[in-house]
Structure 1
């Protein structure tokens, strides 16, 4: 457990607009709160899970997500006390975070992941071989603060950080109206470092085949913890359906993240999101994207194929292969020419290097192909 930091007047949170469960949900919206009954903690849904909500393709759902930071065992599993150390009043701590932290028997700290998962949501008509698309229509901060953590044996420099014997959880304030996060330049000092907020969901996925719930940390063909920071408002994630109904879910909300997410987490903070669930049947999906073996993101500007592997070099290779296959299927491009084009015109970015299975994503400009 981390030592309690001294309260700092510069850390007192006074920004209004806390989105407690059920508060300020738009009239008429289909709403999925992050109650204990609607969440998993540390595991992802599988084929034997039962949907908490069933929707028709094209439906938008308002979904509450809860960050794991502030509720974990090494943080005391008491978000009121944890955030209170940083000047956060009780009414600015989310009630659903308190409920989840207090729930017993839901998470094994030794074998389960940290993430709180909201769902799963079944999409009528979804079958294996189809493509389920999750579009982030809106992402609203539920609180004006977050946490960036580094834990022993994790992160890009596991043998160097944390530098002390304790895990490190850095409190970060947010001016959600100005769209900036704030950190101290020196530990315990006045905040004088700011950075832009770009809220997105680190976890978007569909249920894995089989009867075992996957650990929430490593991503896979089903999506999960892919941590692609391009998946902000307006962006979509296409996922190959693994089980009937798809059983989609969301979690790991972020206010901001750099490519790589090197310290283990980025600015983790709870969001209320509006997600649209669309379905593309197998034949149409093959014509539009080819045979997709894993997550494919899409923004207004880019097609974003991905590559995953425990080895970063192999993740890059998998991403290049996925990009070549996509260009061939979608645009009829000869593989040799596609390979040349990717080398000349496409950026390959490291999504994250901290989730056991590393991720790489490519940014293919749709305008280059007349889209």
Structure 2
């Protein structure tokens, strides 16, 4: 199965392919970055995202040869991935991040102080394979895995199931839950940021609950918002401990809606929701501080949205909410809180 650019379902009113003109490689948009698309609030956009795994320098920057080593035929390697690998898109391997980022998209009427609501409408797999990357000296246990074992683990996707082979003729199978690791807005700076650490702009949040039907709210920092996306995943465990998740390309359609400052009671930080949960987010270089930041974000949400006394909200979080580690491998660690919406139904 291969979902090449321009083929198959394109659900958005606008469509963006991963061409040289539409991507940044290893950097995120800032206020000086020229938009490649302008839309109205409420418009839908389809993005053909490309995984960085298979096209990076330490993989030969040749996805046909790299994936061929795992038995993938040339016809099953996305043409846009091949073209990007062979392109002259600016990237400094020593200073820039690995991710291919599409955008930025300017949203008319978006101003600093607003929120950009990003609704995940549809996600289609563009291939039936991908990579989990360990890379020597990285992940949650860099000292224990440095120079031991392969740096890349090949994964298969079949229906709603992923698999990793091990031993002789054996494999472990697990559910797939595709999502976009990078969802962000342009930073209010004159230089482009590294793609790896997340922040108030969103970016590389790696929150696995941002599947189809979810939404992410991002505090707008520049005129037009400068929305961008990338880092597609087919599955990820909380923590993303090896360094990456099941990295593989997705076709994603999102709705971009401006929530004016006066109309929102959300705090000025990334905030997610699903049909069943509100998800405040905490970020910090130190995991303990990221946890504290998530607790404060959850308290701010509960006191602001429901008028709960702070001590009552604190007690509720301890009794009923779940705090999960988003990831520990992106320099800035992430912790998110799951608050059940049903707990507040009257």
TMscore range, shorter length: over 0.9
Cα root mean square deviation, aligned: 1.3
TM-score for the superposition, normalised by structure 1: 0.91
Tell me the secondary structure at the aligned position of residue 159 of structure 1: helix
> Which of the numbers 192, 197, 200 marks the counterpart of 2:176?
197
Q: Is the 8 A contact 2:12 2:45 kept in 1?
A: no
TM superposition shift of 1:191: 4.3
TM superposition shift of 1:339: 0.5
Aligned to 2:20: 36
CA separation in 2, counterparts of 1:216 and 1:27? 27
The 1:299–1:118 alpha-carbon spacing in structure 2 relative to 1, beyond 3 Å, is: same
String of CA shifts for 1:117-152, please: whole Å, max 9, x gaps.
011111110000000011110110000001001012
Tell me the secondary structure at the aligned position of residue 160 of structure 1: helix
In terms of mean alpha carbon deviation, does 85-94 or 232-241 score higher?
85-94
Aligned to 1:76: 60
Aligned to 2:298: 323
Q: Is the 8 A contact 1:307 1:319 kept in 2?
A: yes
Q: Is the 8 A contact 2:24 2:89 kept in 1?
A: no
Equivalent runs, 1:6-155 vs 2, <5 Å: 16=1, 18-26=2-10, 29-104=13-88, 106-155=90-139
CA separation in 2, counterparts of 1:52 and 1:73? 26
Aligned to 2:218: 239
Count of residues in correspondence between the two structures: 346
Stretches of structure 2 that go unaligned for 5 or more consecutive residues are none
Q: Does 2:198 match 1:214?
A: no
Tell me the secondary structure at the aligned position of residue 329 of structure 2: coil
Aligned to 1:367: 342
> Which of the numbers 121, 135, 151 marks the counterpart of 1:168?
151
TM superposition shift of 1:369: 1.1
Aligned to 1:296: 271
String of CA shifts for 1:219-275, please: whole Å, max 9, x gaps.
000000000000000000000000000000110000000000000001000000111
TM-score for the superposition, normalised by structure 2: 0.97
CA separation in 1, counterparts of 2:12 and 2:56? 34
TM superposition shift of 1:27: 7.8
String of CA shifts for 1:158-210, please: whole Å, max 9, x gaps.
1111443x7611111111xx211111122xx3242111100000000000111
Deviation above 3 Å: which 4+ runs of structure 1?
Answer: 25-29
Q: Is the 8 A contact 1:235 1:298 kept in 2?
A: yes
CA separation in 2, counterparts of 1:43 and 1:67? 15
> Which of the numbers 248, 257, 263 marks the counterpart of 1:278?
257
Q: Is the 8 A contact 2:26 2:98 kept in 1?
A: yes
Aligned to 2:239: 260
TM superposition shift of 1:26: 3.5
